[in-house]
Amino acid sequence: MATAARLEFAVKHAWGGGDGVGDEISRLGREYFTRLDLATNPVHRPPDPEMEVVVLGLRNVLTQRLFQRCRVAAGESLPGYDAAVVERISTLMLGLLRSVFGENLLDAETVDRIGKVHDRFSWGGLRRPLHPRIRIPNNVPDGAAIFMFPEFAHLAIEMDIDADGWTALLPILTRMPALYLRAHELADPAFAPKPFDDYGHPPEFDAPEADLYAHARTLASEYDGMSRGSLADALDGLVAKAFTLDVG
């Protein structure tokens, strides 16, 4: 199937989902994350042949930054990256957000909807069955790479690339790994830190989603008033909670 046709088929399939979930947040979330995955994930052969190199290079530096968080002394800086690459990914992600949620990403109602979409994605709440014949995204986090969402926001802000937009989104993006870990904790009472590459999709379990919704609202009330420095500290704590220290 041609790239453009596959994209539109995937988005249409994601909206319906085949699982009876038809509320607005699920529809918006599945459209956004389907489009993002198809545009950046090498598995889905993005239309831009350079994108695989761009994404892999950025993932490497974001992973490096994550593991330096718990090791650098106070006041030391984390590694930067090629400004052209950061700007390219920033433009792509913010552009997709605007195309799905509306042009004004600083509007309070828009930010709230974006937050609910990212919350639900983080614990696997947008999960839907895979299509039997065509490989398209299933709208669940790809393991511990979910930590790269807030890390990318910090990187863009530090480099003054779309800083206003990423500053507005940073509390939402910091909730993502927190909710991802909460899903693991609910599924496994013996949850303990493990290597970065040992994480996979959020677990499927029978615990009521009400716990996750409540936890998301608690985190929102806590994170929304934080400074960027405090949100960075929160991310530090999540990294220390999630990962063994022998991987970096």
Assess if residue 9 is contained within a domain. Answer: yes
CA distance readout (Å), 22 to 4, 8, 28, 154, 213: 24, 18, 10, 33, 18
Contact between 66 and 147 (Cβ < 8 Å): yes
Average pLDDT, the chain: 83
pLDDT-derived band of residue 49, with 50, 70 and 90 as boundaries?
Answer: confident
Distance between CA atoms of 134 and 38, rounded to whole angstroms? Answer: 13
Q: How confident is the model over 145-191, as pLDDT tens digits?
A: 999 999 999 999 999 999 999 999 999 999 999 999 999 998 888 99
Assess if residue 147 is contained within a domain. Answer: yes
pLDDT-derived band of residue 136, with 50, 70 and 90 as boundaries?
Answer: low
pTM of the full structure: 0.86
Assess if residue 177 is contained within a domain. Answer: yes
**What average pLDDT does this structure show over 89-112?**
95
pLDDT at 129 over 70: no
Helix then strand then coil, in percent of the chain rounded to 5, is 65, 0, 35
Distance between CA atoms of 230 and 232, rounded to whole angstroms? Answer: 5
Assess if residue 222 is contained within a domain. Answer: yes
pLDDT at 45 over 50: yes
Assess if residue 247 is contained within a domain. Answer: no
**Nearest to residue 170, comparing CAs of 90, 243, 89, 232?**
232
| φ/ψ (deg, to 5) at 130 | -70, 145
**Nearest to residue 18, comparing CAs of 99, 132, 119, 96?**
132
**What average pLDDT does this structure show over 45-60?**
81
Residue numbers of the domain that contains 133? 3-242
Assess if residue 248 is contained within a domain. Answer: no
Distance between CA atoms of 248 and 84, rounded to whole angstroms? Answer: 25
Assess if residue 58 is contained within a domain. Answer: yes
Contact between 215 and 179 (Cβ < 8 Å): yes
Q: 227-239 burial string, b = 16+ CB within 10 Å, else e?
A: ebeebbebbeebb
Number of domains in the chain: 1
Q: How many CA atoms lie within 13 A of 167 on its CB side?
A: 14
Assess if residue 117 is contained within a domain. Answer: yes
